[in-house]
Structures are given as structure tokens and as C-alpha cells.
Amino acid sequence: MDKILKEHFDRFMKRGELPPELQQLNGEVKLFDDEELLKVWRSNFKGIPWTDQKGNLFHGAIDNLLQKGKKLIVLDYKTRGFPLKEDTHEHYQDQMDIYNFLLRKNGYETEDYTYLLFYHPHQVEESGHVCFNTDLVKIKVNIKNAENIFKKALQVLEAEIPAPSEECGFCGWIEECK
């Protein structure tokens, strides 16, 4: 799905148009059109990198970007088997915060919000084609949250390895593998 959605959006980007799923934003934004940079930023092996002063690397790979003037807006596709719940978007807050953090650390301006575009099936036609509903959800970005995630990750990596615990499933598994 991820590859198919990116190809779908790229066809519209090349024509300078928004796809039907984003028509409600028409006139407000456009699809980011630097194809080469987008290709790098979408790559799981490269993505949008940032290295802190100590040489610690942090990176993430985006699905797409919108552009509003000079500011970028992260657009992430999500596929599900069922309609959204009221809090579904909240499960992606860290991811969206990190993407915006990385863009800003690389010198790009971003809006203080991002979009999640959810696809979920609603019917199967006689031909076997699956029809999807889409829900576009705008969420506020919290850069401080991304900074804290990075700091906490470094604390874990720099800390001493804890002693094994009987309550830890991973520790139990390691013991069984010995």
C-alpha cells in the first residue's frame, strides 16, 4: 500500500495538482515537488538525518510533504482495516513530532501541524476491487516531545545494562536460548 500510495501522490505532484483525498486543502497547500530530495527522505536507509554535537544520529523516513508558502507540512499515510476511533491519531504523535524536529534541525521551516491521511476499506465490489474511505486528520506538532524522545533514547543507550529480572520476558527468553 505504501508504494502504491506514493506513486499515486507522485502522479498528482508531477501535474501540480492535489489528489482527490486532499481536495479540501486545495488553494491552501501544494504537494512538495523536489522529487530527488523526496526520494531520499522517503528512504528507510537514509531518510531525514540529523546528527547531534556528540555524533549521535537520529533519522526518520517520511511518506510525503505538503508545502504552504516556504513552510513544509508532513503528510503521512496510514492504512487500517476499520474506521478511525476518536483517539486513533494520538498513537502517531511521537512519529509526527520527530519528523518535524528532523526537518527543523535540517534548516527547514515547518508549520505547527501535520496531517495523517487514513485509508480504510468500506466495501468490495463485484469485480473484487476494494473501495476505501479516507479520513484526513490534522494534528498539532510538539517539537519538545521529539527532543525529549531523543534525550531519553540517549540516556538508555548510555546507561549501564541492567541486571536480569525474573519479570522481564526478554531476559527469560535469553536464558532459554543459552
Confidence (pTM): 0.89
Q: What is the mean pLDDT of the segment spanning 59-64?
A: 97
pLDDT tens figures, 93-117? 999 999 999 999 999 999 999 999 9
Q: What is the mean pLDDT of the segment spanning 45-60?
A: 95
> Would you place residue 178 in the very low, low, confident or very high pLDDT band (cuts 50, 70, 90)?
confident
Contact 149, 97 (CB under 8 A): yes
Measured CA to CA, the distance from residue 28 to residue 81 in angstroms comes to 30
Q: Does the pLDDT at position 11 exceed 90?
A: yes
Q: Does the pLDDT at position 23 exceed 90?
A: yes
State the pLDDT at residue 114.
Answer: 98
Please provide the size of the chain in residues. Answer: 178
Find where cell 527543523 sits.
104
Rounded to 10 degrees, the C-alpha dihedral 137/124/15/21 comes to -20
> Would you place residue 177 in the very low, low, confident or very high pLDDT band (cuts 50, 70, 90)?
confident
Q: Spell out the SS3 assignment of 17-60.
A: CCCHHHHHHECCEEECCCHHHHHHHHCCCCCEEEECCCCCEEEE
Looking from the CA of 1 toward its CB, the CA atoms found within 13 Å total 13
3-state secondary structure of 73: strand
Element (H, E) at 100: helix 93-105
Q: Does the pLDDT at position 10 exceed 90?
A: yes
pLDDT tens figures, 73-88? 999 999 999 999 999 9
Q: Which amino acid is at 87?
A: D
Selection from 107, 11, 27 nearest residue 68 by Cα = 27
Radius of gyration of the chain (CA): 20
> Would you place residue 172 in the very low, low, confident or very high pLDDT band (cuts 50, 70, 90)?
confident
Q: Does the pLDDT at position 92 exceed 90?
A: yes
pLDDT tens figures, 147-171? 999 999 999 989 998 888 888 888 8
